[in-house]
Each structure stands twice: as structure tokens, then as C-alpha cells.
Amino acid sequence: MWELNKKNIIKLSSYSILVCAIALVILKGPKLVKNSNFYIDSIAKVQLFINSILYSSNYKIKNVEILGLNRTKEEEISKYFPLGNHIINLDLWRTREEIRRLPWVKEATIKRRLPDTLKIDIKERTPIAVYKKKNVYKPIDETGQLVEIEVHTVLGLPLIVGEEAIEKTPELLKILEQIPELYRRVRAAQRMGHRRWNIYLDGVHDDPNCVIIKLPENDPATAWNRLYKLDKEMRLLDRDIDTIDLRRTDELRIHTRNGKKIKSTTKNYKELSL
């Protein structure tokens, strides 16, 4: 849809003047040659007419409709559109870019509804996890980008730590979400050595209920599915276990809370004494 913005209005004004001039040449050609003042006067009247419309008091901002807000406050957006300002003079591109710099804003669309209304559609970023570094917590969005705003709670989302963890988070969560029964128990994930992940179930770090799952560097999805099958068959996660190491496909290593270390091949894991 063609939007009646400032550039298009200026273009339309130019076209209007040109059309009028051509019409005058065709209809009043002989007369224009003898009296150039008639041509100049006609053009001036056209410009005066256009200006009287564009800069009329009817074209002041009276209504601002803002849609799509969730985490962004309305006043953070409305401050860019003071009521009473001229609607034609608003620089849509520059204003949109300024709005897009707000922490939660992913995209913004601004449309004029002449003579006095602006409609702003906001698309916000979706938090999927919270990144922690030096006791500072910031959300991670669905594209693996940090939202530059500090939060004081994990918002019910997984806590992410470790170098190079931020951009890898969407890929990890896509794997973990494949098994909802396990994903509901995920509390945190730690990127280990820029290569792989440790997953914390039912708690974090010193939490007595926490179970650490060590995923392999290659094919973590298969290891995550393997954990699900082990839990279904042995109720492994209900036992007194501290760590489950799934880094090797032919071996299962378990640390219990009382310090016992158990290693078993995949052929006899059902006979584990826990």
C-alpha cells in the first residue's frame, strides 16, 4: 500500500505543479508567450494551495495508537510523538530507528493516518533464557542476542553461564525442548570450554536437589534422548544422584551424592547398584 509520507507528498506537490504548468501551456500557450506573469502567478497559486493543506492546523498530531507492547512501557514510545506537533514534519525513518534502539523492541512500524493520527506497531523480542556474568543478569532473546537491560530475576527461564554461551543458547534449548518431561526440570545450563554443555536439573550449583547432566560435544540431542530413556526404564533421576555423565556413547558414568562413582557400559547399565 502506498503510504502518504512526507517524501511522497513533496513528490505529489511537484507532480501537481508540473501537470498544472503543462495544462496551462497547452490551453493558454499563445497567451503565456505574451504574458509570462500569468504563468508565474498560476504556479504561485498552486503552491499556496498545497501549503495551505499541508500546514493546516488540521494536520497536527492528536491521536497516537500503539500496538504490540508487552515489556516496553507506553511512555517509552509515546515520547517520540508529542501531541500538537505537525504530522507531516515527522521523520518516520529516524523515529523508527530511535524506537528500535529500545531494549525490548525488535521491529517498529509507523504509519500516518491523515489528518491527525499515528499508528505504531511494535514487535518485541522474546526472552528464552537469562545470562549471568559477574552477578549481572540479562535476558537472551530468540535469536541468541543479549537484551541490554538488567533483570533481578530469571523470569522463570533457564539460567545460562559460560563463555560463548549466549549465541549457542537457542540451539541448545531447541534440543532440550524436544522432551518436555525433562525440559520442565531444567534450571540452568553452563557452556563448558567453548565446546559442550552441562545441564542442571531441579536446581543450580549447591542446591541439594540439583542433578548435573554432562552432555557430549557431538550429537547432544541423542544423549538427551538417551537420558530420557534411562529415566523411563530406571527412574534414574529419582535416585540419590549428583552427576550423570553422557559424554561417551558406549559408557554411562554416575556420581552419587554420597561420593560413590559408578561406571557402566550400555549393555549392563540396568544392573547398576545405586
| Cα–Cα distance for residue pair 100/65, rounded to 1 Å | 17
Residue 142 has pLDDT above 90, yes or no: yes
Residue 172 C-alpha from the chain's centroid: 18
* 56 vs 234, residue with greater confidence: 234
**Is 151 in a helix, a strand, or coil?**
coil
Q: How far apart are CA 266 and CA 24, in angstroms?
A: 93
Pairwise CA distance, residues 70 & 255, whole Å: 44
Selection from 251, 204, 197, 252 nearest residue 219 by Cα? 197
Residue 273 pLDDT level (bands cut at 50, 70, 90): low
Which region among 115-124, 211-220, 233-242 has the lowest average model confidence (pLDDT)? 233-242
pLDDT of 12 above 80:
no
* Cis status of the peptide bond prior to 115, with omega within 30 of 0: yes
Average pLDDT taken over every residue of the chain: 84
Residue 266 CB partners (closer than 8 Å, separation 6+): 249, 250, 251, 252
Q: Tell me what the mean pLDDT of segment 148-161 comes to.
A: 91
Provide the whole-model pTM.
Answer: 0.77
Residue 268 above 60 pLDDT? no
pLDDT by residue (tens digit) across 74-103?
999 999 999 999 898 899 999 999 999 999
Mean pLDDT on 109-124: 95
What value does the mean pLDDT take over residues 114-125?
95
- Asked whether 224 and 235 are in contact (CB, 8 A), the reply is no
Q: Within 13 Å of residue 249, how many CA atoms lie on the same side as its CB?
A: 7
- What burial class does residue 87 get, using C-beta atoms within 10 Å of its C-beta: 0-12 exposed, 13-18 middle, 19+ buried? buried
Buried b (16+ CB within 10 A) or exposed e, 50-79: beeebeeeebebeebebebeebbeeebbee
